[in-house]
Amino acid sequence: MSIKILGMGKGIPEKCVTNDDLAEFIETDDEWIVTRTGIKTRYVCTSESLTDLSVTASTQALNKAGLTTSDIDLIICATLGGDYRTPSHACSVAEQLGTNCPAFDINAACTGFVYALDVASCYLDSGKVKNILIICAEMMSTQVDWNDRNTCILFGDGAAATVVTAGNALKFLSLSATADTAILNLPADTGNSPYINTKKEKDYLHMQGQEVFKFAVNVVGPDMEKALETLDMTPGQIDWYLIHQANKRIVDSIRRRLKQPEEKFPINIGKYGNISSVSIPLLLYEMLEEGKLKTGDITFMSAFGAGLTAGSCIMVWE
C-alpha cells in the first residue's frame, strides 16, 4: 500500500443552522439534540452547489500540496450523489478545475473516504498514476426529511479534498460490507416510466438509529484488533483515533471500549453534524490546520455507514 497525503482542503456552506433554528419548525430544542448527539450546529447549502464546495476544497488541497490541476492524474469522488445523476460528481468538479484526467465516483456512504484511500492505493501501486485527487462531498440537506426530527438534526453539507501520491504512510487498511439495506437507506424514485407498476415519489433518508449505533460500536473494535495484530502494536501506540462523526455517543462508546483517553479522540460533530463521507477528512484537515498532527504521529481512522459498510486504516503522518 503506497500512499501519502500531500495536501488537504475543505469547502463548507455559509449558512450555519443552530439547534434553536431547528426548534422554530420542528418539535425539539438545543438540550434534546446536544444530549443525544453532541451536535450544536451544522452548515447547509443555500445558493452553493455541491460542485462549488468541492472546487473550493480541491483548490485548497492543490495549493497545500504545491501542485496544479495539470499534475493530477486521477480524480476519485466519494459521494451519495452530486449535482447530477450523470455525469459523475467527479466529472462535474473536473470540468470546473479544467482537468482532463480520468474521474469517477464511488458510493460507500459514510465510509467513502476509507474506500477511496483503498482505491487510490491500488492505482498508485500499479504505477499508472502519480498524483490523485480524492474528493468527499455530500449535500445531506437534500436527502433528509426536514419534518423528521430524528434525522434532519443529524446531518450537514460540505466537501473535503485530499491530494495523495506514492509514499509509506498507509500501514493497514481493511474494508467490509455487511449487506443490510433496511437499517439505513435512501430510496430512489421511479421517474415517470409508464411501464413501472409501483410508483415511488421522492423519498428521504430512512435510518434505524439504534441499529446503526450497535453496528458502529461492534464493528470498530474488531477492526482495531485486526489492525493492531497485523502491525504488532498496542492501542496505546496510536496517537489519534479519528472516528466517523455520526454521533458523539457512538464515539464515546468506542473510546470506552478501546480504553483510551478522551484527548486521543478529536471531535468536530458539535460544529458540523454528520457529513457522511466528509466527516473523517474534514476532521483530519482541521487537525492539520490547528497544528495537532505532527510528523510521525500514528492515526487510526474508522468509519461506518449505509450498506452497511465499514472501513478502518492506520496511517503514519509523513
Please confirm, yes or no, whether 244 is among the known catalytic residues: yes
How close are the terminal C-alpha atoms of the chain, in Å?
Answer: 14
Of the residues 45, 91, 110, 136, which is catalytic? 110
- Return the C-alpha torsion angle 177, 180, 181, 184, nearest 10: -80
Report the distance separating Cα 62 and Cα 85, nearest Å. 26
Instruction: Give 202's contacts (C-beta < 8 A, 6+ positions apart).
Output: 189
- Residue 316 bridge partners (DSSP): 298
Residues 19, 131, 247, 274: which is the catalytic one?
A: 274
Q: Which of 19, 89, 152, 244 is catalytic?
A: 244
Rounded Cα distance, 302 and 263, in Å? 17
Query: Is 206 a residue of the active site?
Result: no
Using alpha carbons, list the distances in angstroms from residue 206 to 65, 97, 145, 152.
38, 34, 9, 11
Q: Quick check: is 89 catalytic?
A: no
Where on the phi/psi map is residue 168: left (φ > 0), alpha (ψ -120 to 50), or beta?
A: alpha
Which are the catalytic amino acids? 110, 244, 274
